[in-house]
Amino acid sequence: QVQLVESGGGLVQAGGSLRLSCIASGRTFSSYHMGWFRQAPGKEREFVAAIRRSSSNTYYSDSVKGRFTISRDNAKNTVYLEMNSLKPEDTAVYYCAADMDMSRIPARVPSLYDYWGQGTQVTVSS
């Protein structure tokens, strides 16, 4: 089964940047849509961004459009989330996830993803 491991989180001041990475195990990484979600203390897990298996299309929540960029390198079995102009409200645990349903665009609902990483903490100070 697929295993996902996130890294790159940390503490950053408002306006700064971070790049998160998620490395996937297995030999079929290119067959999955990939997504990033986040969960802040006391809140539900929310959709952040997703990318098709072909890398030709990306999707973002309204709260991060223009600031975050999702990308993937299938040769390295890795998906990235470049986060710029960070705000305190971006503080959360960030998770990467794999969506194996190729009949549709990447899902925005957590329950539709098949594999999840352990998460990496992002803290943005004001």
Nearest residue to 37 via CA among 113, 103, 125, 124: 113
What is the reported pLDDT for 117?
97
The total number of residues shown for the chain amounts to 126
pLDDT higher at 34 or 107: 34
- 27 confidence band (pLDDT: 50, 70, 90): low
pLDDT, averaged across the chain:
93
**Nearest CA to 16 among 27, 28, 4, 8?**
8
Pairing of strands 120-125, 10-13: parallel
Give the model confidence (pLDDT) of 71-94 as tens digits: 999 889 999 999 999 999 999 999
Section 14-30 average pLDDT? 89
pLDDT for 6 equals 97
pLDDT at 107 (0 to 100): 85
**Residue 26 in this model has a pLDDT that exceeds 80:** no
Mean pLDDT, residues 92-99 taken together:
96
Residues 32-77 have pLDDT tens digits of 899 999 999 999 999 999 999 876 799 999 999 999 999 999 889 9
